[in-house]
Amino acid sequence: MNTATLKTNNLWAYLQLTRPANIITAWADILAGIAASGFAVFDNPVPAVWLLLATTGLYGGGVVFNDVFDAELDGKERPERPIPSGRSSLSGATFFGSALLIIGVLAAAQVSLLSFSIACGVAASALLYDAYAKHHTFFGPLNMGVCRGGNLLLGVSILSPMVGESWYLALIPIVYIAAITAISQGEVHGGKRSTGIVALVLMGAVFAGLLGLGWLNKSYFLAVLPFVILLSWRVLVPFVRAANQPSAENIRTAVRSGVLSLIVLDATLSCAFAGLPYGLLLLILLPLSMMLAKMFSVT
């Protein structure tokens, strides 16, 4: 293998570590948060660009460290992953993940002190999950949910005063991600039916929350409704299948669908505050994420 080919393979391995399809879903969190804040992003897109860069670094760094902390386990269960396969070194991945987290925090600081503080919290929560919480049945799903809820509030922080008014919106991605993380605990060896049922109950709470947001702003309720139906179709079908037959394959399918459908969740939330056009605009990210999911691992 020549030097150029080796360098290309190494770059591809480090790109794999960031799970690009998932980063697109993190962008959707930011855009949904901006919609909830009421900020006129088309009049002044610069703060939005900084926040999109921030979430790219935070999410990318978080998932890189997930592989760093799981290197030994992946050597047994997923030897094809970049670190155990030797395509990326453990020290290189650690440096790469650290650089991404630093970029994320510094980019958020360009918007406001509050954005910087939220970004620091998201980075700390991601590292806590990677190192410890993901091995805990209760705190793992909660911790990962807090990461995504914080990411949504990072978008809201484009107008700092709105974070205090809209903090409750973070509960929606917290519960949603908790459901996905709960069911994902069996994606390698298969799971338990009881875990699938808990995940379905949590998803039911998410749908109730989204419909509630649409009802509070009745002028947008009809815009929210078709998005809720789309989200239900994309998520509930594989989740019900995984709950009834908790095989590793069914669970991986449910997790994959749930992660990519974060964009639909964020589009639905956006509709409740900014109407149908903004929701449809955000939904454009879904085919991009799905395309990347064919090239890179999502879980």
pLDDT of residue 6: 45
Spatial neighbors of 92 by CB under 8 A, at least 6 apart, are 14
Provide the residue type at 273 as one letter: F
Q: Which domain holds residue 21?
A: 17-291
The region that residue 38 occupies, defined by phi over 0 for left and psi between -120 and 50 for alpha, beta otherwise, is left
| Residue 9 forms part of a structural domain | no
CA distance 101 to 22: 16
Structure confidence by residue, pLDDT tens digits, 150-167: 999 999 999 999 999 999
For the chain of 299 residues, list the mean pLDDT of each consecutive stretch of 10: 54 90 94 95 94 98 94 83 89 96 98 98 96 85 91 97 94 90 64 77 92 82 90 91 85 88 94 91 92 83
Q: How many domains does the chain have?
A: 1
DSSP letter (8 states) at residue 245:
S
Helix axes 46-69, 113-131, angle to 10 degrees: 20
Element spanning 145, H or E = helix 139-156
| Residue 11 forms part of a structural domain | no
Q: For residue 30, give the CATH number of its domain.
A: 1.10.357.140
| Residue 1 forms part of a structural domain | no
| Residue 12 forms part of a structural domain | no
Spatial neighbors of 219 by CB under 8 A, at least 6 apart, are none
| Residue 44 forms part of a structural domain | yes
| Residue 211 forms part of a structural domain | yes
| Residue 85 forms part of a structural domain | yes
Closest by alpha carbon to 31, among 267, 211, 290? 267
Q: Is the dihedral angle over the CA atoms 35, 36, 40, 46 positive or is it negative?
A: negative
CA distance 34 to 51: 10
* For the chain, the helix, strand and coil percentages under 3-state DSSP, each to the nearest 5: 80, 0, 20
CB 239 within 8 A of CB 258: yes
pLDDT of residue 189: 47
Q: How many residues does the chain have?
A: 299
pTM: 0.88
| Residue 299 forms part of a structural domain | no
